Amino acid sequence: MNTTPVSKVTTQAKETLAIIGLGYVGLPLAVEFGKQYDTIGFDIDSVRIQQLKDGLDRTREVEPELLAEATGLRFTDQLDELRTATTYIVTVPTPIDAFKTPDLSPLRGASRTVAGVLKPGDTVIYESTVYPGATEEVCVPILEEGSGLTFNLDFFVGYSPERINPGDKEHRVANILKGVARESVENKGTSKVLVLALAIVLGLMLGVFATFMAEFGSQVRQAMKKDAD
């Protein structure tokens, strides 16, 4: 497995990255890449974009000084400004509806956005939390239909489980290891299954760990409250 930290990721000299969806997950990632690479931070929320342009992150994940360090990062809600990107990382929300069914509409919307600017040779990496198979079954068809390009021939797709723990100022995107699985023609067959399975297992482990930590934190808080009463 490649264990290269984000700060050491190499891209082609003139390559431009685009992060689609600037929430708890997307903004820290955009800032980290923006310290070294030409990076576009895209969001459909124009108020959020204006606040970020003014140096304010309302989620408080990124301090104003850190935002200022990302000199290669620019923010936009304009589709046209995404055209220069060659790698797109999708970090939009995937909430559940009243019936606890995943609501994939933001993911579909973001895929349509990327499809509108996709060019031969581009790579799209999904970082939103999705069920196994959703990337290929839901996202790839939208990318193909909207762009007129062919998956694995003209453009490539990857999956990378997110690793943000909101409020944790110690374990941040720059100092944690991150897995990215990219499907490719070479990865077809057994190795493709293994690579995707690895990403899925990684995602599940992280999900279980995050749930455990949230529950553990809540139990500790309750115990401390009881002691204080």
Ligand X SMILES: NC(=O)c1ccc[n+]([C@@H]2O[C@H](COP(=O)([O-])OP(=O)(O)OC[C@H]3O[C@@H](n4cnc5c(N)ncnc54)[C@H](O)[C@@H]3O)[C@@H](O)[C@H]2O)c1
Name the site residues for ligand X (rule: CB under 6 A): 20-26, 42-45, 48, 91-94, 106, 109-110, 113, 128-129, 162, 164, 166, 210
Instruction: Output the six-digit token pair for 122.
Output: 């581009």
Residue nearest to ligand X (CB): 23
Cβ proximity of 178 and 190 under 8 Å: no
- Residue 227 C-beta: closest distance to ligand X, Å: 29
Give the span between the Cα atoms of 203 and 162, in whole angstroms: 8
Give the span between the Cα atoms of 151 and 183, in whole angstroms: 10
- Residue 203 C-beta: closest distance to ligand X, Å: 9
- Residue 185 C-beta: closest distance to ligand X, Å: 28
Choice between 70 and 164, CB closer to ligand X: 164
Choice between 164 and 181, CB closer to ligand X: 164
Q: For residue 89, give every residue at least 6 positions away whose Cβ sits within 8 Å of its Cβ, in sequence order, or none.
A: 17, 18, 19, 20, 26, 29, 125, 127, 160
Choice between 21 and 34, CB closer to ligand X: 21
- Residue 108 C-beta: closest distance to ligand X, Å: 8
What number of CA atoms fall less than 13 Å from residue 136's CA on the CB side?
10
Give the span between the Cα atoms of 211 and 145, in whole angstroms: 36
Choice between 83 and 192, CB closer to ligand X: 83
